[in-house]
Structure 1
Amino acid sequence: MKTAAKYSPLKKIEALIYRIKRKIYFNLKMIGFEGFVWSAALVYLAFFFNPAESHFTICPLSNFGVDDCPGCGLGRSISLLFSGKITESFQTHILGIPAVLILILRIFSIMRTNYSIHKKLNSKERNQYA
């Protein structure tokens, strides 16, 4: 009589979910809080922010009636850039494109630093218990 498979399909699915959770946790640990905030801001500007609509803001200049706030213009510029409207983005705020590049470089810099720290800590742990 043949024995049952070593792992049932349910166990395989559980193992797959566990591996996915570990990868997500590892990536969140590598990106850090600051990187998460910058990434979330870029995702918000890319997918959820509509520069044509009026929206709630905590910007003091906009709340006092100033229409051309540099910070708000930068957000609109980044949103237009992610929409593919590069010339409008450049006209809205000249620093929108460089700001996106700087933020992306900062996110990768944080990840690289956290990964090297993680690697050093793990190598010290391995050497300690060897």
Structure 2
Amino acid sequence: MSITNHTIYQTENFVKRFSVKAKKLWLLIGFESLIWIIGLLYLAFIHSPGETHFTICPLANLGFEFCPGCGLGNSISFLFKGDIISSFRSHPLGIFALIVLTLRIITIIKNNWRKYA
């Protein structure tokens, strides 16, 4: 086997191993938990709580002043930034929502681990 063929063989092996590991990682994480993780990372690193912006909330767009979900993203974002008081003021259930989402992600990964590992 020449050096070129050996290098190509090693590269092909690496790609096969990488694709198997990537597929296994995808199976372990799962689509739902990946969406939750991306959302939480967005709230932790990108989102600036308190900024006014266009809302997609149907109740707010219909003119209702109260919506049980409005402020939840801001609340979680404040939590990630360490501002517990502002988090509670933004939405009292923000801490609870973060705990529930974290437990949901852990549960999905544990169930997938049992199924696919």
TM-score range, shorter chain: 0.7 to 0.9
Per the alignment, residue 97 of structure 1 pairs with 95
Task: Specify the alignment match of 2:113 in structure 1.
Answer: 115
Shift of 1:22: 4.5
In 1, the alpha carbon distance for the partners of 2:82 and 2:34 equals 24
User: Structure 2 vs 1, CA of residues 113 and 61 (structure 1 numbering), >3 Å: closer, same or farther?
Assistant: same
Deviation digits for residues 80-119 of structure 1, max 9, x if unmatched? 1111111110122111111111111110100111111113
Q: Which structure 2 residue ranges, 5 or more long, are not aligned?
A: none
Instruction: Call closer, same or farther: CA 1:89–1:17 in 2, change over 3 Å.
Output: farther
Equivalent in 53, 56, 60 of residue 55 of structure 1? 53
Which structure has the greater CA radius of gyration?
A: 1
Q: CA deviation at 1:66?
A: 4.2
Could you say if the C-alpha distance between residues 97 and 53 of structure 1 is closer, same or farther in structure 2, counting changes exceeding 3 Å? same
Q: Which moved more, 1:66-75 or 1:41-50?
A: 66-75
Closer, same or farther: CA 113–60 of 1 in aligned 2, 3 Å: same
Instruction: Output the CA distance in 2 between the equivalents of 1:20 and 1:87.
Output: 45
1:71 to 57, 61, 69: 69
Question: Which moves more between the two structures, 11-20 or 48-57?
Answer: 11-20
Q: Give the TM-score normalised by structure 1.
A: 0.69
Alignment size in residue pairs: 116
Which runs of at least 4 in structure 1 moved beyond 6 Å after TM superposition? 10-18
Identity over aligned residues, as a percent? 45
Please, which runs of 5 or more residues in structure 1 have no aligned partner?
120-130
Relative contact order: is structure 1 or structure 2 higher (C-alpha 8 Å, sep ≥ 6)? 2
- Deviation of the 1:28 alpha carbon: 2.2
Contact 2:55 2:61 survives alignment (8 Å): yes
Q: Provide the C-alpha distance between the structure 1 equivalents of 2:30 and 2:56, rounded to a whole number of angstroms.
A: 25
